[in-house]
Structure 1
């Protein structure tokens, strides 16, 4: 009887093992398609670009190894300095406007008692517009002649502006476009975080006589700290890769006032046909963002 029981248990264990193996094979089979696509269209191009960073190549000749020559060429290019300067400036302005404004809007929308759905849709609507369409729309807004903004200024008898045609206002004009286009998604994420805060915390703060600002400072911000820190990192990474707005609206001008790192990569690759330098600059941007992200996550680990 004991032998029979042992045999049955072994057969049952073998059956379970076989079933588990079949389930794993099926699961990995479905996963393999995604991994193959990811490898072919993401990791392989990234690895190939890293190799090209140390080669001299164009659309005609075979690649030749040149070592660090592409990097030396970049450091000697005046546009290289302008691109990094403008990118950091753009990122700083975008954080001042695009990080604080969405949070304030989310707090305001969270306090609304009527027409919540309408205002949330109105805030999110720009996200649904394709980026190129957004850039073309704002390009007309900024037109120094019949543009909407200058027409409004003329109607109010105020001085007009050159907007994207002036070196003083071009970059901030692009920041406003990028902020408007991406505002809705950030606001909804903040809203989701705000609605997860227990109402008892606000009730206790009110009973203690806390003002609106004190409730935001001591309840809202600490409770949404993790989301704020993650969104800050994502916004920095995204704004450091700005391309659509300068490409569509200004072409990097005037006088390289809006040329960015990603736009300079585009120029090296598709205007100068210097793919090696384009890949070298891409590698530099990747390294910078990778190191920055690692340091940021390490420094904010305790806060999250």
Structure 2
């Protein structure tokens, strides 16, 4: 009787919860399971799905672009950690130290996030234009030679990382600002009384206090940058000479250029497993460091 009475008391809550679970199952878990199953099938528009086992994965490893895409994506992720992970934190620290105009500068930093991605890409395509582009105009003023930013194998990936950092750092900067705002002022006052310099206050007070946020954003950034697609798709198309072909760009080609959805699903399944394993290992290693 007690269980029945408790069920009646919480019936409305269970109904709301069941609706949320149904929506989550239909629009989150079902597509994931369906995508994994497609990785073991031959799927095209021309014929019904046919179970082929591990053939899609064998064809993946036999494709020369498969290794190239993973290498390029890893290189992009490494560059993004060098630029994109440090830039938001440094920006947040600088903004947090300002006493005037902080709200205006926060808005300025966040503005790129509010731009549609395609608008951002078209803007940076003009900036990188080898003729009248902004960067080459600046180099001309400085009497330096113009660069083929998106047409050079050495510069194309770095150029894409700069675009990604500029477009996405606003959200991370605001997260860091919120974390910095929660640090007790007494810690900085004690450090100043001890004669600590700005660098030592940053290293011994600021970073330890926001260590958990830094660890989480690092994980999210690795997962996000491993799935880079818009920048190479719009700006370089994977060129020059496949120097910017990424995992998701190759996956897009499999599905919508070669019309091989089984191969594309196998690629996405492999990426899902790799990122899942990385996240699990990372969380285990950093479990007691937050």
**Residue correspondence of structure 1 range 11-160 to structure 2 within 5 A:** 18=5, 20-160=6-146
Distance in 2 between residues matched to 1:295 and 1:23, nearest whole Å: 42
Q: Secondary structure at the match of 2:272?
A: helix
**Residue correspondence of structure 1 range 1-304 to structure 2 within 5 A:** 18=5, 20-304=6-290
The two structures have a TM-score, normalised by structure 1, of 0.92
Aligned residues: 290
Q: CA deviation at 1:22?
A: 3.7
Q: Secondary structure at the match of 1:72?
A: helix
Which runs of no fewer than 5 residues in structure 2 stay unpaired?
Answer: none
RMSD over aligned CA atoms reads 1.5
Distance in 2 between residues matched to 1:199 and 1:131, nearest whole Å: 38
Distance in 1 between residues matched to 2:90 and 2:205, nearest whole Å: 14
What per-residue deviation string (whole Å, max 9, x for no partner) do you get for residues 43-76 of structure 1? 1111111111111110121111111111111111
Q: Secondary structure at the match of 1:73?
A: helix
* Cα separation, partners in 2 of 1:216 and 1:81, compared to 1, 3 Å: same
What per-residue deviation string (whole Å, max 9, x for no partner) do you get for residues 132-190 of structure 1? 21111111111112222212222332211100111110001000000001111111111
Distance in 2 between residues matched to 1:28 and 1:156, nearest whole Å: 67
Q: Could you say which structure has the larger radius of gyration?
A: 1
Q: Secondary structure at the match of 1:252?
A: coil
The two structures have a TM-score, normalised by structure 2, of 0.96
Q: CA deviation at 1:32?
A: 2.7
Distance in 2 between residues matched to 1:34 and 1:170, nearest whole Å: 44
Distance in 1 between residues matched to 2:251 and 2:141, nearest whole Å: 41
Q: CA deviation at 1:109?
A: 0.5
Distance in 2 between residues matched to 1:170 and 1:22, nearest whole Å: 62
